[in-house]
Structure 1
Amino acid sequence: MTFFGRLSCVWGFFILLVLVSEAVAPSPSGFVQTRSTQFVLDGSPFLFNGFNSYWMMHVAAQPSERYKISNVFRDAAAAGLTVCRTWAFSDGGDQALQISPGVYDEHVFQALDFVVSEAQKYRICLILSLSNNYKDFGGRTQYVNWARSAGMPINSDDDFYTNTVVKGYYKNHVERVLTRINTITRVAYKDDPTIMAWELMNEPRSQADYSGKTINGWVQEMAAYVKSMDSKHLLEIGMEGFYGDSMPDRKQYNPGYQVGTDYITNNLIKEIDFATIHAYPDIWLSGQSDNSQMEFMQRWMMSHWTDARTVLKKPLVFAEFGKSSKDPGYSISARDSFLNAIYTNIYNFARTGGIGGGLVWQIVTEGMESYYDGYEIILSQNPSTSGVISQQSRQMTALKHTLSRPRVHLTAKPNT
Structure 2
Amino acid sequence: MKASAAVPAAALLGSASPARAARQSPFVGTDGTRFTHNGRPFAVAGFNNHYLGWGTRAEVDDVLETAKRSGASVVRTILHSVIGSPDGSVPSTWNWQSTADASNMGMHGTYLMSWDAGRGTWAFNDSAVNGLGRWDYVIWKAERLGLKLDIALIDFWQWAGGVQQVCRWFLPDYNSRAYKDEPAVFAWDLMNEPEADNTRLTPDGTPLSEDWISRMSAYVKSIDANHLVCVGGEGFYDRSSFVDPGRELAIPTIDFGTWHTYPDYHGLTPAQVVELIHRHGETARQAGKPIVLQEFSYSSLHEDQPEALRSWVEAIAADSSCAGWLYWRLVGRVTPAPTRAFPEAENDPPTVFAPDNGEHFDVAANPDATPANVWRSYQVLAGAARQLTRPNQPQAPARR
TM-score, normalised with respect to structure 1:
0.44
Normalised to the residue count of structure 2, the TM-score between the two structures is: 0.46
Q: Which has the higher contact order (CA 8 A, sep 6+)?
A: 1
Q: Which has the larger radius of gyration?
A: 2
Larger helix share, 1 or 2: 1
